[in-house]
Structure formats: C-alpha cells, structure tokens
Amino acid sequence: MASQTEDSIATLLGETSVLVPAGRSAERIADLSWWLFGSATLIWFVVLGLSVYAAYVRPGAHDVARVRLMIVGGGAVLPTILLGGVLAYSLWLMPQVKPPIPEGAVEIEVEGLRWWWRVRYASEEGGATEVANELALPVGRPAVLRLTSPDVIHSFWVPALAGKTDMIPGRETIIVLEPTRTGVFRGACAEYCGTSHALMNFAVLVLEPDAYEGWLARQGAPAQEPEGPLEARGAAVFREYGCGACHAIRGTQANGVVGPDLTHVGSRRTLGAGALPNTPEDYVDWIARTHEVKPDANMPPFGMLPDDDLAALAAYLDGLT
C-alpha cells in the first residue's frame, strides 16, 4: 500500500530526470553530463586496456621505452587532454547555466520553510497571489525566481529545469528558469533541513501561455462558496477549530499566514508538499494524523475531531479548486 502511494505521488509530482531536460539551463547541464560520462568511459577503457595488455598479453617481453609510452600516454597525456577539454567546455557553459536576469521575465517569489514552499506571484493590481507547493510557468518565457528562507538553509531544485540554488536565511538568491516544453516537473529541497526534509517537494506545471494565464487568474480569484450542505458544514468546522489562525482562504475570514494558503488547495496535485496525494481521504489522514504522515511538521494533528466533522472538512477543502 505504502509503495503504491509513493508511486502515485511520484507520478503526480512529475518528471525528475536531469538527463531528460525541459529547460535551457538543464539542457546545458545534461550536455556536460554526457561529455563527462563519455570522456570518463574512454579513459577507463584505455587505461584498463593498456594495463591488461602490459600484464597478460606479452608479460616480460616489453622494452622500457614502450612501457613508458603506455604509462605516459594512457595514464597522463590522454586524461589531461580529455579532462582539460571538458574543463574548457564547462567554463564556457557556466555563464549559460546561470544566465543574467532577462527582460520581460515572469517574477515569482519562493520561500522555503520547514517543510513546504510559499510561492507568490505579483499581480498587476498590486498585492500578490499566494499559492503553496506548486507553481506554474509559461513555456518558452524566462521566469525569475527570488528565493528566500526564514528558518534554515534549503535548496531549490527542479532537476529537469535547472541546477540547485540554495535558499539562505537573511539573503535573497535568484534562479532563472526557462522551460522549453510543457509538462509537470518535480521539484524538491536539495539541502538537508531537518526531520521531514524528504517530504519537501513541489510540482512545477509548465503550461502554454494561455493556459498559464488561466491558471494564474484562477489562483488569484477568491475561494468559491461551499457547494452543498456537507461542504458548508466543513466550512463551519474550519471556523470552529480556528484553522484560519494559521491558514488563509481568500474571500473568507481566514487570513492566517503561518501555514500554506488554502484558497485553492483542492486544485493542487498533492498535500503536505508531496506527502500525500490529494483526495478527500488524504485530507482526513493529513488533518487527523499529521505527524504520522509528516514527522515534526508545524501543524498540530486534529485527531480529536469527530469522524463526520473530519469528513465535512475534507469535502470543503477538496472543493476549493
């Protein structure tokens, strides 16, 4: 069961391969990886081949000059040329992996916290649209991500789009992402940051420009009203238990800033930064057994809620799409 859930979470979070790039900077990194892998393979075969030849093929029959040639040539000259070439290539690539900030880029602020991601899109009317553990980017257009952390060092990594960038308390680091194809790509924290470091994931949705604008408009809208009596009961449970002290749901009284914004939580692919899939049963699991799902998470478990209140709350949150 557990491994099935892990499989489905991995599918929901999306592609993760450095070697199947979907962004400009990741393409350069993949190129360099293949060159390094190729030259290392060549050096390994040449050195091993010469060693086998020297030891077994004609043992005792070598003259000193030939042995010296093999050692100097295979052991020093060849690796120097190949690795020197790769070094020159990587120095040439470096500015392309970390490009300067381009004009007309999408601007996004990302805060890494133990153990989730706060994402803010500046809106044209002023203010910002806040989402959590998921972000969307338009394909073919650069995005500038301003990265910060209020607690410990995290590292922002979307392997298919670019390399890692540390998020350091007290300063802002910047990464430029330029997606080259649409899809869903997994992001993760790449710096050990405590107990649930492994459960600090996010999904990057790379969309066509129109779909991206639609996504942004939907995320910026206030939460929809509860659809039926069960959802309305869930909204009342949310108020009664003071969930709004930590979580915001725009369009309601809930305006907490400690935890993730839940205005459109039902639209997200996972819960708890990739800890669970996102179905009504998963909300119940998350709310009642938070620390079994995600050890040391800031949110206290609400296992004391009666089952029907939990089910109503889950239906309400699931309906916030």
* Nearest to ligand CUA of 142, 272 (CB atom): 272
The token pair that represents 183 in the structure block: 């899809």
CA distance 245 to 263: 14
* Cβ(249)–Cβ(262) below 8 Å: yes
Least Å distance, CB 115 to ligand CUA, is: 6
Near ligand CUA by CB under 6 A: residue from 131, 132, 200, 314 = 200
Distance CA 149, CA 147 (A): 7
DSSP class of residue 294 equals S
Q: Any contact of residue 164 with ligand CUA (CB under 6 A)?
A: no
Full DSSP string of 154-199: EEEE-TTT---EEE-TTS-EEEEE-B-S-EEEEEEE-S--STTGGG
Q: Does 297 participate in binding ligand CUA (rule CB under 6 A)?
A: no
111 vs 127: CA distance, rounded Å = 17
Query: Is 139 one of the binding residues for ligand CUA (CB under 6 A)?
Result: no
Q: Residues 66, 101, 192, 303: which binds ligand CUA (CB under 6 A)?
A: 192
Candidate list 28, 118, 120, 154; residue touching ligand CUA; CB under 6 A: 154
In the bound state with ligand CUA, the residue whose beta carbon lies nearer, of 110 and 176, is: 110
Q: Cβ of 103: how many Cβ atoms within 10 Å?
A: 5
Stretch that binds ligand CUA, among 53-61, 92-100, 184-192, 216-224 (CB under 6 A): 184-192
Quick one: which of 251, 291, 285 has its CA closest to 270? Answer: 285
- With contacts defined by CB under 6 A, name the span among 40-48, 118-126, 185-193, 278-286 that binds ligand CUA: 185-193
CA distance 102 to 142: 7
- Interface segment toward ligand CUA; rule CB under 6 A; list 27-35, 97-105, 188-196, 237-245: 188-196
Tally of residues, the chain:
321
Q: Which of residues 221-280 bind ligand CUA (CB under 6 A)?
A: none
Is 112 an interacting residue with respect to ligand CUA (CB under 6 A)?
A: yes
- Closer residue to ligand CUA in complex, CB, 191/318: 191
Query: Could you identify the residue written with the tokens 């007309």?
Result: 104
Answer for which of 189, 203, 275, 297 binds ligand CUA (CB under 6 A) is 189
In the complex with ligand CUA, which residue's Cβ is closer, 112 or 163?
112
At residue 108, the 3 state secondary structure works out as: strand
Stretch that binds ligand CUA, among 42-50, 187-195, 271-279, 290-298 (CB under 6 A): 187-195
User: Closest separation between CB of residue 132 and ligand CUA, Å?
Assistant: 14
| C-alpha separations of 97 from 24, 30, 142, 143 in Å | 8, 11, 13, 14
Provide, rounded to whole angstroms, the least separation between the CB of residue 170 and ligand CUA.
Answer: 16
- For residue 154, list its beta bridge partners: 167
Give residues in contact with ligand CUA (CB under 6 A).
112, 115, 154, 189, 191-193, 197, 200
